[in-house]
Amino acid sequence: VAPGSGIFAVFHAGWRGTANRIVEKGVSKLLEVSGAKAEEVLIAFGPCIRKCCYEVGEEVKRAFAAARQEVSRIFSGPFLDLVEANRRQLFRLEVTRILDSNLCTACRTDVFYSYRRERTPSRIWTIAGFKEPSESPS
């Protein structure tokens, strides 16, 4: 969210998007379009699969290395930390106001669907918008 501009953006950043820096590119565009300063922008990470559960293959690690990402900082063995990878992209833009739900969709199948954990066809939706300013009672 670029406060005061009426502009926000939502990104789905799976491993391919994260390797290709979709958040860095998208937030860079948000800064450009909104005119907001990096320190004004507010980021929120929603529920997603986390490093506790996101075991990936060597091809994923190779894709991040090929994209010149800090593999040693975002992988722990075969486990990928997507949030940390995206956080590092934001820091490159000097965006540091970051909220994190800290919710892992694979750990919390009591609340969320997880394709990886359950092979469910059900999906999570993310809906974003601005709240209508409330009118004061007359």
Cβ closest to Zn ion, residue 40 vs residue 55:
55
Tokens of 114: 């997880």
Cβ closest to Zn ion, residue 41 vs residue 45:
45
Cβ closest to Zn ion, residue 21 vs residue 112:
112
Q: What letter would DSSP give residue 131?
A: P
Among the listed residues 49, 55, 115, the one whose alpha carbon sits nearest the alpha carbon of residue 86: 49
Q: How far is the CB of 135 from Zn ion (least distance, A)?
A: 43
Q: How far is the CB of 60 from Zn ion (least distance, A)?
A: 17
Cβ closest to Zn ion, residue 24 vs residue 47:
47
SS3 of 15-46: HHHHHCCHHHHHHHHHHHHHCCCHHHCEEEEC
Q: How far is the CB of 13 from Zn ion (least distance, A)?
A: 17
- SS3 category, 117: helix
Q: How far is the CB of 98 from Zn ion (least distance, A)?
A: 19
On whether the CB atoms of residues 51 and 76 are closer than 8 A, the answer is yes
Q: What span, in angstroms and rounded, lies between the C-alpha atoms of 47 and 8?
A: 18
In the complex, which residues of this chain contact Zn ion (CB under 5 A)?
50, 52-53, 104, 106-107
Cβ closest to Zn ion, residue 36 vs residue 83:
83
Q: How far is the CB of 34 from Zn ion (least distance, A)?
A: 33
